[in-house]
Chains A and B, each alone.
Chain A
Amino acid sequence: MTWLRHLFLPAASSVKAEDVDDLFMFIMWLNILFMILITGLIVLFVARYRRKSAAQKTAHIEHNTALELSWSILPLILSMVVFFWGFNSYMQATVAPDGAMEIQVTAKKWIWTFGYPDGSVGVGKLWVPVNKPIRMIMHSEDVLHAFYVPAFRVKADVLPNRYTEVWFQATEVGDYVIPCAEYCGKGHSQMRAYVKVVSQKDYENFLEKGDPDEIGKPPAELGAILYTNFGCSTCHSIDGTRGQGPSWKGIYGAQHKMTDGKLFTVDENYIRTSILQPQQMVVEGFQGIMPSYQGQVRERHLTALIAYIKSLK
């Protein structure tokens, strides 16, 4: 019956996921058994006791204590089994083991930023070594968000006024999606990051030299990668359609009216300022809702993004 498990659940890729899935399937079987019982009784009784004449005699059975006790107590026992199982696996998934690697997570509309133990910071991609317990310490800079990795079966709300945490230990090398799971406005459904589970060696390599996807790329190509990784794509299109922010297509070199009424030609310095201090000059007709990327992007990222925007004619 693994097809049923695969129908409902994505591949389990963390150490605690199997236990959650086993409980899920246990409840699934309870559901199926009870639905067979309910449907079976309905079909049986309707077939057997369908009214054939207005004078059809019916039984006067007011109640039956033994029956009623049994269908009160049996569901109670079954639900207590589910309760203890669920509570137990929840406690295990809540308390991170000692010595887990700690990663700081910052959420804001609509990007995820990850801070590593060596002080380096990444946006949109969470690099972790496989088979190591990882503890995420999370907070939000604006509204509620929720950190969710379906493949790991972990989720926790991210709050503006205190830290929340989750921990996981990935078992398979691969990329896993992190969809924001607490409604946070226009960009909610595009507030998406990825966990990149790699070998210990690749992880160390990443810390030392940076993201291998970014190395050796010409600036415009790197900019195209950052466009999705940094979540720019949530608000800025590259095909001219209007989003939460101006489209990047043809924006370089064009004259735009700002909210303060001044005309401004978009050049390298304008783009740089817009990324680091986005509220300074907002194009008329748009709200100043973009978060600042100050401290989260490196100089080469800025160069790459500017080159990419210049290439979008």
Chain B
Amino acid sequence: MSDVITSPAAQAAHTPHHADYLEDPDFKGIWAWMTTIDHKRLGVMYLWATLAAFLAGGVMALIVRLELMHPGEDFMTAERYNQAFTLHGAIMVFMFIIPAIPAALGNFFLPLMLGAKDVAFPRLNLASFWVYVAGAIMAVTSIVVGGVDTGWTFYTPYSTTTNGAVTMMTLSVFVLGFSSIFTGINFVATVHKLRAPGMGWFQMPLFVWAIYPTAIIQVLATPVLGITMVLLVMERAFNIGIFDAQIGGDPVLFQHFFWFYSHPAVYIMILPGMAIISEIIPTFCRRVIFGYRLIALSSVAIALIGFLVWGHHMFTSGQSALAAGIFSFLTFAVAIPSAIKVFNWLSTMYKASISLRTPMLYAISFLFLFGIGGLTGIFLGALSVDIHLHDTYFVVAHFHYVMMGGTVIAYLGGLHYWWPKMFGRMYNETVARVCCGLVFIGFNATFLPQFIMGSQGMPRRYYTYLDQFQPLHQFSTFGSWILGAGIAIAVINLTVALRGPKNAPENPWGGTTLEWQTQSPPITHNFIGQPTIDHEPYDYRTFKIPADAVD
């Protein structure tokens, strides 16, 4: 090869369309997929696996809501109901929302955005996936062999004394934790070592700037969950007396351990959602993001302070008033960086060129719903008000506004944003927009009434309830049907597109980050030649919008 072509764009112009990662002739067949170390294929496998978990958890949610149509028994006993909400929570948290964005979209796009060929440890990445599958199989087994009725929080001493397959389920959470740690280690190393030439820390896309602190939390916090789960299993199997008061333990200690992981885990869940929003907004506004550094650093601040607020889940647990005061104070401190981000995203829409395609519609939904989710957190951070609201539907509504209205909406936005890149196909835009509307309406119909129920005194995890709450419960259940239909049709719409021709251009939305500078879908090695960076991200002054971009 005598003539050296330096820029990937120039090289691509000279070369014909390459076989993409989906149909690479060197890696054909099921076995090649199962043993792949390509981050894109692993991302796709994680995508389908976590979507299956989302389906299972979603069906559980619909069942729970349906049972709540009337007080007393509708179609299941209290025992079954308790198992259903436990599974809904455990599946959604451990098998869907924690891995969904980092392990599916993160795996696929983090190396592409950095201009790298793969993650730093491709084999660890493969291990992570199969460990996830093993954990998921264990969780399914625990459902089959006896069910679990502890709630996803596994509070002791209920969890150490109840019947059912609690041991299997907690071991599954232990195993799933390793999958999460592996992904985290991989991303930290990749971000540190595999950035393209010219890409300093402040030239990284904001997606990376949010996935990076997420990965650090995964590495530092998940081991605590693992240890806690092992202690719980030991307690059940050998009565070692750590948590059960009957044998000298302290049940509140479990809550400290559990939330020391599970509060940072809330940020493992929301930061990746913020990561996606920080990409969608500048692309569909076609202007530089407002306050790049503040958005980037606020993610780091959230990750750090997030380690110090676990006690706000325990204001009624009997912890000391001083501890409660400190945790309340820090809770308000961690709220500020999130507020900053919202204002930065909003300001990016100022003097922009706003396209209301599906990803942007989801981003706007996110701003509204996450706004409510974040602001209602103020009620729960304020000590005396939280005493009234703790363990009521108000809390249920609040965290669904953050986790679902925030993360899941961002995730759906991210799927619609990157689907053409991942699979090389455009989806039906009209159907996608209608679904976004259905999800928005259904979501609010489901969860707004729950704020009112909660502050009126309706406790959570209730199989039956006082008659006064029935109208609101029914409204919420009707809303869940709209929400379920919206999500189902949206996912079907995306899946149907896979049967169509590969019609997606390289850069359909006019995005500036590196994943848009390679063909759709990308080739196995991502880029032809090593891309280099010579400008700040989201700089539209010099950026040429490709002629085949839509709108």
Asked if A and B are interacting partners, one says yes
State the A residues within 8 Å of B (CB). Answer: 7-10, 16, 19-20, 23-24, 27-28, 30-31, 34-35, 38-39, 41-42, 45-46, 49-51, 54, 56-64, 67-68, 71-72, 75-76, 79-80, 82-83, 85-91, 93-94, 142-144, 146, 148, 150-151, 153-157, 159-162, 164, 177, 179-190, 241, 244
Query: Please, which residues of chain A bring their CB within 8 A of the CB of B324?
Result: 90
Q: Name A182's closest neighbour in chain B (CB-CB).
A: B391
Q: Is the CB of A56 within 8 A of B391?
A: no
Query: Please, which residues of chain B bring their CB within 8 A of the CB of A182?
Result: 155, 391
Q: Is the CB of B384 within 8 A of A58?
A: no
Q: Is the CB of B329 within 8 A of A184?
A: no
Complex: A228 Cα to B313 Cα, angstroms: 33
10 residue pairs A–B, Cβ–Cβ below 8 Å: A27-B379, A61-B287, A86-B386, A93-B387, A150-B457, A156-B316, A160-B246, A183-B155, A185-B158, A188-B461
Complex: A162 Cα to B250 Cα, angstroms: 9
* A35-B371, A179-B457, A185-B158 as given contacts; A59 in contact with B391, CB under 8 Å: no
Q: With A41-B346, A159-B318 given, name 5 new contacts (CB 8 A).
A: A86-B383, A150-B456, A153-B384, A161-B245, A164-B318
Could you mark each residue 511-551 of chain B with 1 if its beta carbon is under 8 Å from any beta carbon of chain A, else 0? 00000000000000000000000000001110001000101
Query: Please, which residues of chain A bring their CB within 8 A of the CB of B463?
Result: 188-190
Q: Is the CB of A58 within 8 A of B382?
A: no
Q: Is the CB of A86 within 8 A of B162?
A: no
Query: Please, which residues of chain A bring their CB within 8 A of the CB of B246?
Result: 160
Answer yes or no: B217 CB below 8 A from chain A CBs: no
The smallest C-beta distance from A78 to any residue of chain B, in angstroms, reads 9
Q: Is the CB of B321 within 8 A of A177?
A: no
Q: Is the CB of B252 within 8 A of A159?
A: yes
Complex: A253 Cα to B161 Cα, angstroms: 35
- The stretch that binds A, out of B27-35, B99-107, B291-299, B476-484, is B291-299
3 tightest Cβ-Cβ pairs between the two chains A and B: A150-B457, A86-B382, A161-B245
> Once A and B bind, how many residue pairs between them come within 8 Å at the CB atom?
264
Q: Is the CB of B364 within 8 A of A42?
A: yes
Q: What is the size category of the interface that chain B forms with chain A?
A: 35 or more
Could you mark each residue 463-493 of chain B with 1 if its beta carbon is under 8 Å from any beta carbon of chain A, else 0? 1111000000000000000000000000000
Complex: A9 Cα to B155 Cα, angstroms: 29
Query: Please, which residues of chain B bring their CB within 8 A of the CB of A46?
Result: 349, 354, 356, 364
Answer yes or no: B305 CB below 8 A from chain A CBs: no
Complex: A86 Cα to B324 Cα, angstroms: 11
Complex: A92 Cα to B321 Cα, angstroms: 11
Could you mark each residue 279-301 of chain B with 1 if its beta carbon is under 8 Å from any beta carbon of chain A, else 0? 00000011110111110000000
Q: Is the CB of A34 within 8 A of B371?
A: yes
The smallest C-beta distance from A134 to any residue of chain B, in angstroms, reads 16
Q: Is the CB of B286 within 8 A of A58?
A: yes
Complex: A181 Cα to B395 Cα, angstroms: 12
Q: Name B338's closest neighbour in chain A (CB-CB).
A: A75
The smallest C-beta distance from B470 to any residue of chain A, in angstroms, reads 14
Complex: A67 Cα to B290 Cα, angstroms: 11
Query: Please, which residues of chain B bring their CB within 8 A of the CB of A164?
Result: 318
Q: Name A90's closest neighbour in chain B (CB-CB).
A: B383
* A10-B457, A189-B78 as given contacts; A86 in contact with B349, CB under 8 Å: no
Query: Please, which residues of chain B bring their CB within 8 A of the CB of A61?
Result: 287-288, 290, 347, 350-351
Could you mark each residue 248-289 of chain B with 1 if its beta carbon is under 8 Å from any beta carbon of chain A, else 0? 011110000000000000000000000000000000011110
* A46-B354, A155-B387, A157-B318 as given contacts; A58 in contact with B381, CB under 8 Å: no
